[in-house]
Structures are given as C-alpha cells and as structure tokens.
Structure 1
Amino acid sequence: MPRPQWHAPWKLMRVISGHLGWVRCVAFEPDNQWFVTGAGDRTLKLWDLASGELKITLTGHISPVRGVVVSDRHPYMFSVGEDKLVKCWDLECNKVIRHYHGHLSGVYCCSLHPTLDVLCTGGRDSSVRVWDIRTKNQIFCLSGHKDTVASLLTQGVDPQIISGSHDSTVKLWDLAAGKAYATLTHHKKGVRALALHPNKYLFASGSADNLKQWKCPEGVFMKNVDQTPYRAVVNCMAVNHDDVMVAGYDNGSIRFMDWKTGYNFHTEQTRVQPGSLEAEAGIFDCCFDKTGTRLITCEADKTIKVWKEDENATPETHPIEWKAVAPGTEKRW
C-alpha cells in the first residue's frame, strides 16, 4: 500500500452571509475573480473572491435555485431550479437571454461541455437533457435512470457525460449515440455527488454508504475511498490539482482526503452562524477555485464559507497517522 502524501489541514478563512435561504450551489468564473451562488431565496448572487463583497444579485427564478455553471468560452452563465426553468444569463448585461424548455419537473443539476456548445441538465423527471446553447433546441433526452438525477459531470473525452441518480446508479453516456454504454450499480444509496479529477482520467462518486473511485472510460471500479463511519449523506465532492479530495455531508462535517490512498487527513465540523439552529449545519455544495487553494462551501445556515490551507502546519505539527491495511481486510460497514 502506498503511503499517503502529506497535505496541510484546511481552516476557515471567511464567512459570507447575504442569502435568505439555504445556499444550494456555487460556481467560479474562468478568470477566478468572482464566484456565483444560488439559494433557496430564488436569487443568484455574484461575490468578489478576494474581498467577499457582494457584486450583484440576480432575480428571475420563482423557486429555489439548485444548480449554476459559468461558461469558460462565452460570457454566459446558466442556472437551473425547482421551477423547471433552465436560464441562460448574459453576464455583460446581467439579463436572462434564453430559456430552455422541456423538463417536466424540478431541475437539480447542470454542467457545460468543455469543448462543445452544449449544456446538460438533470432533474426530478429522471432524465438528462442535452441542449444546444445557441438554438435552445433539445439535442437528446437521455433516459434510463429510475429516479431523480442529482449530479452531472461533463468532459471532452469519453465518457462525455456522467450522471449520478437517487436510484443509486451512475451512468456513463455516449454523447454521439445518445445512450448509456455503462451503468455502475456498486452503490447502495442514492448518488448525490460526483467529482472529476482535474488532471487524471478518473472520477469519484459519493453516496451515504461510501465514496468510490472509478477509471474512465469504461467506469472500472478502482477502490472505496472512505467508509463513512457515521452514515451521513454526502451532498457534494470536489478534487483539486494537489490530489486533495473533499466531501461535504448533511450533518455539517467536511472530510479532506488524499486522493491516491483515501487517507482522511483532516475532518472539519462546520459551525452554524449565530441565530441558526444546530440542525442547520449542513453542506449542500462545495467547489475549489481555479487555483485549488480556496474551497467554497454552501451551507444550510444560509452562509457561504471560504476555506484555505493552514500555512503554519508542517509534517511535524500534523503528522500522518496512517497504518497500512491489506486489501480485502478493511472494515466493512
């Protein structure tokens, strides 16, 4: 078994408040100057990354906003919500310029293809819909899931679309043929979180039973990363270039892990802002910025928290407490 790489523990750097509802989603813009959050108060807010100040509030959704993504190639931002709406915002004039109609129920996740002008959305109608950004036409309705599609990934190489669903399966889709070529049935609970490794041809999926790593393109199972000891629901996952994988749970805990070995080198418990209930310690979404040095978490106490590595930590102050476990003998929950 390889020894885990040393990573510095992460600490809370800033708490940003301003939303009036649960903060459900976050996305960074390509130049890393600002980020956008969507919340249960039906608004999208753009925040300055350096200062944490609010730049603008966008209204237009009539139900909670569940997903947001900013294009790397156009001055566009896309948002989806429980009102079945998929909106395209022009960031030069901060207005909605297109709607994509077709979802039969709430839309929970969205993802932009990195090289093609297509947007993928998934929701409670158990389908993944692929839209042409410019013409507003629906290219495909990818059906096959039996329950809500809760998480989506897109990449430039096969599988170009990966979807996770509450039916506890992960599907890999062939975008050219418009159908699934692999269904991964290893999870026992709904898959709410997926994370793509930024520079390896791998991805991870998170469910209440455990986190798993997979190899593209066939979806070959590699390993269980983390046997979740407290049976909490995984709402989000993210990976940065330094092989730090983070998972956010609905009980407010954030676990930082080494990608290669799955070693949990740091666990943080979020604290609710004053005036909130203890039960509102929950993490709905998390995202690393473009440099991988800042982590944003969206939380149930209506706050956005910014985390960074502890610059004072060293391998001596925070040693790796790791013992090798022979494959097949690890504890099963």
Structure 2
Amino acid sequence: MLATCCDDRTCKVWDVSNGECIFVLQHDYLVQYAEFSSCGGMLATCEDDRCSIWDMTSGECTYRLPQYESGECCAFSPASPLIATAYTGDEDKEKGNAYIYNTVSNQCIATLRGHTQNIEHIVFSPNGNVLATSSEDYSCRIWEVKAGECKYVLEGHEDGVSHIVFSPNGGMLASSSADCTCRVWSVESGECTLVLRGHTQGVTSCTYCPNGAKLVSSSDDDTCRVWSMQNGECMAVLSGHSSGVYHCVFSPNGSLIASASGDRTCRIWDAVKYECISILDGHTSDCNYCAFSPCGNYLASASEDSTSRIWSVAGAVASQKEETISVQPKRGHTGRVTSCCFSPSGQLLASSSNDRTVCVWDTSTADCVEVWRGHTDEVRYCTFSPICDDVLASCSADCTCRVWDMRTRKCMHVLEGHEEGVNHCCFSPNGALLASASADHTCRVWDTSTGQCMHVLSGHTDSVEWCQFSSLFDQSGAIL
C-alpha cells in the first residue's frame, strides 16, 4: 500500500499493484503527514494540531489523539504498540513537547518536555527503546522510551534541524540542518563523532545505506552528497538536478540512490559509480519525496502537482527514461485486500481479501496463478509456511483457518474451533505448527500435518489480534 496526503483535506491509500485507490480518509484540515505502522495494519495522519489513527483493514478512524498531543509529525515504534507525536502549534506552554501514546489503551504514557521551539522530526530507534527528536531550536534530543526521560541533548548545529535518522544498528544518529551540515552522533554517549561539511545551502534530508557504511544527504544547493561513515569524507557529489533536492534515499539493497527535486524530476543514481542512470520525468510541479518499495522493485514519488507516481525501477534503469507501472491482472480480487505475504523463495505472493478469497501471484509476471475459495466471510490474513512455497494458511472472520496445498491445489485442512472471527495466524519456525488468534479471546495451536487442535490458550480478556512464535531457543515453536 501507498499513502498520500493532499491539500484537499484527504489522505488516500492506494494499491501499488494496480494503482487503485483503496481508501479515501477524510479530514477537517490540511493533511501534512502520514505514516504506516511497522506491520502495515495502522496508518497515522497529521492535520493541523491533530493526529488520527486509522485501521487499514476497514479504512475507519479508530482514535483521534487530543489536540495538544499531536501535530505535524509522528512515528510508530517498530517493536511495540506505541506512537510518538510532536506538538507544532503556537501555544507556548505546549511548544516543543512530544508525546508517546499507547495505541492499544489509547493512553498518553509520556510527555517529553525540553525543546524550546517546534519539533521538526521524530523517529524511533530500530529496536524501539530510544526516541530521537529534532527541533527549530538548533538541537536534537535522545529520549529513553520506557522512562520517558531525556538521555542527551545534542547541541552543535547553528540553525534548525529538519531531519534525523538512526543508523541500521541503532548505534548512531545522523541529523541534517539548515546550517548546511550534517552531524553524526553516538546514541550511547551523545557525542558528535562527525561533522559533514560541503553543501552550500541547507541540508534537507539524510539517509543511511543498509549496512550503515555510507550516508547520503540532499540539499537546497541542487546536489546530493555521499559520505563515508568511517572518516566523514565526501565520497561523491551527485550533480544534475536544476533545483533544490528535497529528499534522497538508498534502495533496500544499497545499490541505488533516488532523489526528488524542485526541478519536477526524480533521479536514480548508481550508488557505486555515483552516476545518474535514470531521470524520472512526468510530474508538473516540485517533487517533494521519494521512497523505494521494500523489495526495491518500485519507486514512489510525491509532488506538488497533487499526484503520486509509481515507477518500475528495473524498467527505468534499463530504458533510462520514465516508466510507470501498469498491471492489469487477468483475474484476482474483487474486494479490499487485507494482507499479503511473500513465499520463502520470493517467487510467489499471496494476498487475502474481504471478497472471501486468497489469491496467489507469480512475482515475476504479476499474473494471478491461483484463487483459493472456501471461506464464507472476509479473509483477514494469509501466510506461507517458512520452509517451502507449497503450504499456505489463511484465517477468516468465518471463525476458521484453512491450510492450502499448492501442489495439489486443494484445501488440506479446515481448522474449526474458534467461536468468533480469527484475526491472525502464523507458522512455527519449522512449519509443523500453526497458531491462530481470535476475537473469542483465545489462541489455538494446530498440527499442520493432521489439522488437529493441540492447545487452546485461554487468559486474554478481549480479542486477540496477533500471535507469533519465538525462534530464539529452537525451531519447534516451544514459545508463542
């Protein structure tokens, strides 16, 4: 899914595979920011001085944070049901505050006070234990999430700090500022380890490559720069844009860099040779943002022309000109898609839908190769066995799970026993067990070879939304 926000007071959620709009989320004011939760089940949107949480299975707003506990930026924790927001209004008593909210209890669990001007950016560390904020007051702050306390004040910039990003291992924090520099900070000590100088105008964004060895920055000086994180030296200047560059990002495998510019284009750069290998031309106004899909096959761009475009990266690189995705499957879902997952080999993609089906797609051709029918209500989730492409499980609002065999193209087992809809299911690491989580307040553990229920896990006092086996001690699924 792709989320876009616009001056028309809406946020739209799109199906990337076919370009169709799934949800139109109506707001009362201009929507300035949107972010998905790590699992994709929730979307947070920021308008004026208010943040709203939306359910991505129904498109409904589940909660609106109080006015002074939300603003123009927010971030979901990658490891817990928390969201951090920053107040960006004019009330002096609230200015510079950030808030941590529990999305399950809808309670504010911490108020982070210390910044003296509005917060520009907020981000959790990869493990979710630490939160970082940057501000117009020229500083960044590192906060302990559990304690809700400021660990370090990072001072040194001489102008507002617009963007911050953690290194992939969470050990370092990079900040970009209107003072024309980036700085790199140790999260453990709070010390500035590198000052990256070279840009001649304000730095608008910065991003680490996947292994953390390099950082790319974008600037109003029409360039991007690539920096070594070992010694802070500038490894390359990416020149070619004819206006300020607002955003830059590495591809998931680190081989490409994408940049979005006020010259109405995005560019794709070779991250080894530092050459421009494609110019994505088609927007009619400034390009503000760009992002690679998790697999790196597509690039999304957002523009002041009120559109977002999805580009085929392989096609754009091969032709060195714009190529937009246009997928018209011969068959597929007729309703809203509720989940999707790749097979272990990556050759197949399965998707579930409120049309009561599970579809299996060939990832190389985008063709639908199988449609599984049998559920009598919305299919809420589907997942492949972690050990092969041949076994797939699905769970449904019809109170059942089903296990499907890709070789025989038949349903192997119908897992019955839950008394209300099943929200989620997952395989054990060795594929021998399947766990299911239900609105009937229980989890069940099933033998995938026989379809028999082995355990009923009772104790929850409300709907069980998610379940996951631990692989820390062994692969048998001893802990859930």
Q: With structure 1 as the length reference, what TM-score do the two structures score?
A: 0.69
State yes or no: 1:211 paired with 2:266.
yes
* Identity of matched residues, %: 20
The corresponding residue for 1:228 is 283
SS at structure 1 position matched to 2:218 = strand
Question: Secondary structure of the residue that 2:163 maps to in structure 1?
Answer: strand
Aligned equivalents of 1:241 and 1:79: distance in 2?
25
Q: Which of 124, 144, 150 does residue 70 from structure 1 map onto?
A: 124
Other-structure match for 1:263: 324
- For 1:156 and 1:239, the matched residues in 2 are separated by 13
Give the partner amino acid of 1:95: E
Alignment of 1:1-333 (within 5 A): 6-10=17-21, 11-13=23-25, 16=52, 18=65, 19=67, 23-31=71-79, 33-41=81-89, 42-47=96-101, 57-73=111-127, 75-115=129-169, 117-157=171-211, 160-199=214-253, 201-209=255-263, 210-229=265-284, 231-232=285-286, 234-241=287-294, 243-250=297-304, 253-260=306-313, 261=315, 262-263=323-324
Per the alignment, in what secondary structure is the counterpart of residue 93 of structure 1? coil
Aligned residues: 268
* TM value normalised by structure 2: 0.49
Say if 1:135 and 1:157 are closer, same or farther in 2 by CA, change over 3 A: same
- In structure 2, runs of 5+ residues without a counterpart are 1-15, 26-42, 46-51, 53-63, 90-95, 316-322, 328-338, 342-351, 360-365, 367-480
Q: Is the 8 A contact 1:258 1:265 kept in 2?
A: no
Higher relative contact order (CA 8 A, sep 6+): 1
Gaps of 5+ in 1: 267-290, 294-308, 315-319, 321-333
Partners in 2 of 1:50 and 1:237 — Cα distance? Answer: 31
- The AA in structure 2 aligned to 1:239 is F
Change (3 A) 1:68 1:169: same
Cα distance change on mapping 1:45 and 1:74 into 2, 3 Å: closer
Letter in 1 for 2:251: H
Give the Cα separation in 1 of the matches to 2:149 and 2:129.
Answer: 12
Note the alpha carbon deviations across 1:49-80, whole angstroms, 9 max, x for none: 67988665533322121122211146111110
> Hey, what's the Cα distance between the residues in 2 that align with 1:245 and 1:57?
36
Q: Distance in 1 between matches of 2:256 and 2:237?
A: 16
| Offset, 1:226 | 3.6
Superimposed CA distance per residue, residues 177-204 of structure 1 (whole angstroms, 9 cap, x where no aligned partner): 2110100111111111123323462221
Task: Name the CA shift for 1:246/1:97 in 2 (closer, same or farther; >3 Å).
Answer: same
Greater Rg, structure 1 or structure 2? 2
CA distance in 2, matches of 1:48, 1:9: 32
Matched AA of 2:20: P
Q: Distance in 1 between matches of 2:292 and 2:106?
A: 22
Q: Conserved in 2, the CA contact under 8 Å of 1:110 and 1:152? A: yes
